[in-house]
Structure 1
Amino acid sequence: MKGFLITLEGIDGSGKTTQANLLYEYLRSKGHKASLYRDPGSTPLAEKIRELIMSFSLDPITELLLFETARSSLVWEKILPDLQKGNVVIVDRFIDSTVAYQGYGREINLGTVNVLNHIATRGRKPDLTFILHVPLEVALSRIGKDKTKFEDKDFLRKVRDAYFLIQSSEKERQIYLIDANREKEEVFKEIVKIVESRL
């Protein structure tokens, strides 16, 4: 049985991690075999790489290569085996984050980013993607003192705009732009309705 890959995207503070967790619990409660991962992370190697990314001031290319290495580990060790078992796999961030943050945000050639994404994922694209959108001020207020090097306001604006471009340009994919500037229950209700129509 072929599995189903769902990714949640958006700038930090958009609520994607909260929604990923809610969706995972919901699907399990409905009897689906479900897995939940974060990218980068969720394997011993990928978690170590996540720490390195957050701990060092990196040039854009080194940062990109570390993200892709972490993703390769996650895809090979967790995502592909779970999909092979027929699981619904939910991932908090995936290839679109790299296009938005490293491609548009860090201004790395998009062709380079797309090739590395393809290599790291073994060509496996999401079956369904949700991009959660909130105004920058809302996102930054939600982040508060937990701000990292990726939360500079001007940088986040570029990333936010990049997600809109991804959603409008990749017509062959199922990408839904979700207004996340609402109560989390309201956002979740919209996500579940779309997921149930696809499973």
Structure 2
Amino acid sequence: MLIADEVQTGFARTGKLFAMEHHGVEPDLVTMAKSLAGGMPLSAVCGRARIMDAPAPGGLGGTYAANLLSVASALAVLDVIQEEHLCDRSAALGERLMDRLNNAQRTNDRIAQVRGQGSMVAVEFRHAGQPDAATAKAVQQRAHAQGLVLLTCGMHGNVIRFLYPLTIPDAQFERALDILDAALTEAVPA
């Protein structure tokens, strides 16, 4: 059985409604939450009928399932994703961000890797072959001083991942990219 955990990757974040769509594979089960209801508490499991119908009545449930307000929110989220073409927007925004990060990587050897799909993007810092949490933290702090909130993550704290809303206005996104450029230049020695 193949289970796709789409809790973080779902709902247009990768440029498709679900990340699994990039791989041409249909999972047997899909788990969903977070972006599903636009911030309202809701989770879901969806799957093939033979699997979903297997438990006895009451045998399948969840902590954040079936709240009426959250379900209404999820339906509105799906409408917005379709009406505002957020899968396409996610891909376009992610490409702009990755272009900026790849340009910075060409001049800064501490940027070890730029990775992502759609708007699910991360940049990893290393120095002398080792995880470089200090540089990631310095970039985060310099960006924050200019009004841009970034999240460091990874086992060693040497990765910054980007979590902007797909509905971010273009001018605000461009300003964020400019702040990021400046933070990378100031924090990462050339």
| Shorter-chain TM-score above 0.5 | no
Bigger radius of gyration = 2
The two structures have a TM-score, normalised by structure 2, of: 0.27
Of the two structures, which has the highest relative contact order with CA contacts closer than 8 Å and spacing of 6 or more? Answer: 1
